[in-house]
Structure 1
Amino acid sequence: MKIRILNTIVIMVMSLTVFASCSENKEKRHITNPELTIMEVKPSTQEFHESFSATLKGMQDIDIRPQITGFITKVNVDEGSIVKKGQVLFQIDQIQYEEAVNVAKANVAVAEADVATAKLTAANKKYLAERNIISAYELELAQNELGSRNAQLALAKAELVSAQKDLSYTRITSPTDGIIGKIFYRVGALVSPTMSDAITTVSEFATMYANFSLTEKKLLALAKENHLTTDIVKNLPKVQLKMSNDDIYRYLGTIETISGTIDESTGAASIRAAFPNKDGILRSGGTASIILPYSLDSCLLIPQNATYEIQDKKFVYTVDENSTVSSTEIEIYPLNNGSEYAVTKGLSAGDKIVIEGINSLRDGLTIKEKSNTL
């Protein structure tokens, strides 16, 4: 009985061992021979586009502020209104300023009458002095009085001009063609030149600026690829604008300025592109994306999902003639199109790389090559 039990145990152990061995061999065959898609790296000339976040700003955003103190009696525009240069936007209560003009006009009239009287007196004194009827002292007093009256007339006229100017300031006009921003003060509000907030803003929108940034590395790469020297701006390609609704703006833009310094905190240069805004679609303060085109000659293009990263270094799995994979470090062009990298170092034309399932690979693993149509 004991011998029979022992034989049974031995048979069971051997069966389990054989089963485990078969399972292990089956798993090894599965792991060591995965069928994966590969591609042969070939040189080509490629056109790329890369997007950069941008903020929109009008050519001029002009604060509209009162130059006198008073209550707003009329608002002639609304937020978003298109206005012309010189158009009246707001009306400030005119009563006190009209009164000031009337008083100034009356003062001018009085001063003119005083001057006329002083002229007659001076002429009479001169006639009498020439005949030695009065002394030269009396003549000089009369002439001085005339000079004083003339000065008072000039002062009265200046005060009239000032009063008329203040009256004109009751009509707040647009300094340029543009679009009205948010209106902070309306009818009944007391406004003055010393208040901190503007009444509103007029944005000159015939040309709209898109401000964005490029890292120093990308800026240098762009300059190199376009064979640019110190006068970078003149030779940069036209750019597109993707609006916040993902539509591509119908007009191309021109890069006008690149900041002369790199921001130490961001490591990037500020760039401004100008777009015509003939239809008034673009609004100051909006957001968009700049699409920057560039081309690379004889570049080696690979899918981004064929790469993996270790400590900020990029690698791919290359495949040799024996279908064995090995990790290879590569260097890439700083700009990319979001789905592919242009390899500048680490690969040569004709090399084969794995472009799928790279997370399950390791150096020395043999794979089965699946044909690829790329």
Structure 2
Amino acid sequence: MGKAIFKTGLFVSGVVLFAACGPKKAPEQPKAPPATVAVYEVKSERAVYYDNFPATITPLNQVDLKAQVTGYITGVYFTDGQHVRKGQKLYDIDRQQYQANYEQAVANLNVAKSAQAKAQQDADRYNDLLKQDAIARQKVDYALADLQSAKMQVAAAQANVSRVSNDLRFSSIYAPFDGTIGISQAKIGTLVTANANVLNTVSSDNPMAVDISVDQKEVPRFIQLQQHPGLGTDSTFTLQLPDNSVYSKTGRITLIDRAVDPQTGTIKTRLVFENDGRLKPGMSINVRAKNNNEGQFILAPYKAVVEQMGEYFVFVVRDSSKVSQTKVTLGTRINDKIIIKDGLKEGDKVVSEGVQKLKEGTVVNTGAKQ
């Protein structure tokens, strides 16, 4: 009996020891209070906005003036940056020398014609004598050969006259159209080479072309504006100049390129604007295209939008005050708001402040509404 009692006591002691050495239960952490955020109730609003397109100003006509003959510049008949008229003389290149060459060529042609006339007379006379058997046949053959040679000399002289006539004409350079001429790259006394030297550039200055690249999704809209110009007369197209001022003149579409660039998915579109003197070729500006689909749009605060890996999301407050991360398709930004093309409906409540502390399913306290 005593031995049995000793074993039982040993077992109880082991249980107590095991219980004392077991893991302790961690104390429960207090739950974090819901994040306090501001929400905005989405509604349909009327909006007038502009799409912005980077653009470059381009002259409707532009020509590089090149020398077509070799020689020294002997005359400059304009001031750099001057407005020139079509047909106005701009440069002379060794004009007197080419005039002398032309006169010499004409004189050589006259000599060749005189030699041909003499050869013709000799051939006619020898032919008459041959009919009377008064001259050897060989003599007649020589006369006919001389006549043929004289004719070839006339043809060569005539070709030379044509060549030097062109040189004489090209020794003076004239304005191809009305426009503005730039800074001359050659002064009086400069030696220029035919088809090698650009002497200057003339470009038309009124009106001016403005080229933009339009996304292929927008092609139907721009074709409609081109086919119905009346749609574009109410300031549909305006310019934002480099100093951020808005140009007072409005423009219209004149052409849409024949094909979409497969690399960019855009198509070149050209607008024309009247120039008050502020539009210069090569200037980088923005075209503001008024969206003709005026009406009701779903708008949300721009600061409510979160970007992740090139996609855009907002946090929508659902039942039980939990937020759901919702993907949206963005439209044009209008001041502090942005058009939501897809992803939201009227009445949705989106978090407008405090989005940085949220994730899917976070419980929020909508302490403030906008």
**TM-score (structure 2 length as normaliser):** 0.77
1:72–1:90 contact (8 Å) kept in structure 2: yes
2:116–2:154 contact (8 Å) kept in structure 1: yes
| Structure 1 residue 168 displacement after superposition | 1.6
- Structure 2 equivalent of residue 202 of structure 1: 202
| Structure 1 residue 351 displacement after superposition | 2.0
- Structure 2 equivalent of residue 180 of structure 1: 181
Given residue 237 of structure 2, which amino acid in structure 1 is its aligned partner? V
CA-based RMSD of the aligned residues comes to 3.2
Given residue 240 of structure 1, which amino acid in structure 2 is its aligned partner? T
2:47 is the alignment partner of 1:46: yes
SS in 2 for 1:199: strand
1:43–1:298 contact (8 Å) kept in structure 2: yes
- Structure 2 equivalent of residue 93 of structure 1: 94
Rate the CA distance shift 1:99–1:258 in 2: closer, same or farther, 3 A. Answer: closer
| Structure 1 residue 170 displacement after superposition | 1.2
| Structure 1 residue 364 displacement after superposition | 1.5
1:89–1:174 contact (8 Å) kept in structure 2: yes
| Structure 1 residue 71 displacement after superposition | 0.9
Structure 1 unaligned regions, length at least 5: 1-24
2:270 is the alignment partner of 1:269: no
CA distance, structure 1, for counterparts of residue 262 and residue 278 of structure 2? 31
- Total equivalences in the alignment: 331
1:241–1:288 contact (8 Å) kept in structure 2: yes
2:213–2:267 contact (8 Å) kept in structure 1: yes
| Structure 1 residue 105 displacement after superposition | 1.9
| Structure 1 residue 189 displacement after superposition | 1.3
SS in 1 for 2:79: coil
| Structure 1 residue 92 displacement after superposition | 1.1
| Structure 1 residue 117 displacement after superposition | 1.7
CA distance, structure 2, for counterparts of residue 282 and residue 174 of structure 1? 21
Rate the CA distance shift 1:276–1:345 in 2: closer, same or farther, 3 A. Answer: closer
Given residue 163 of structure 2, which amino acid in structure 1 is its aligned partner? S
- Structure 2 equivalent of residue 293 of structure 1: 290
**After superposition, what is the alpha-carbon deviation per residue over 1:190-243, rounded to whole angstroms, capped at 9, x for unaligned?**
111252x5112222344433233345xxx42x357x4x89x8964796532222
Rate the CA distance shift 1:128–1:89 in 2: closer, same or farther, 3 A. Answer: same
| Structure 1 residue 318 displacement after superposition | 3.5
Percent identity (aligned): 24
| Structure 1 residue 276 displacement after superposition | 3.5
- Structure 1 equivalent of residue 368 of structure 2: 369
2:287 is the alignment partner of 1:256: no
- Structure 2 equivalent of residue 353 of structure 1: 350
Structure 2 unaligned regions, length at least 5: 1-29
1:328–1:346 contact (8 Å) kept in structure 2: no
| Structure 1 residue 356 displacement after superposition | 4.1
SS in 1 for 2:117: helix
State the 4+ residue runs in structure 1 displaced beyond 6 angstroms.
none
SS in 1 for 2:53: strand
Given residue 338 of structure 2, which amino acid in structure 1 is its aligned partner? Y
**TM-score (structure 1 length as normaliser):** 0.76
CA distance, structure 1, for counterparts of residue 150 and residue 335 of structure 2? 82
CA distance, structure 2, for counterparts of residue 109 and residue 258 of structure 1? 55
1:1-374 matched pairs, under 5 angstroms: 36=38, 38-195=39-196, 197-215=197-215, 219-220=216-217, 222-223=218-219, 226=221, 234=227, 238-249=236-247, 250-254=249-253, 256-258=255-257, 260-264=259-263, 267-294=264-291, 295=293, 297-319=295-317, 324=321, 326-337=323-334, 339-356=336-353, 358-359=355-356, 363-370=362-369, 372=370
Rate the CA distance shift 1:139–1:268 in 2: closer, same or farther, 3 A. Answer: same
| Structure 1 residue 67 displacement after superposition | 0.6
| Structure 1 residue 296 displacement after superposition | 5.8
CA distance, structure 2, for counterparts of residue 252 and residue 309 of structure 1? 36
CA distance, structure 1, for counterparts of residue 366 and residue 279 of structure 2? 54
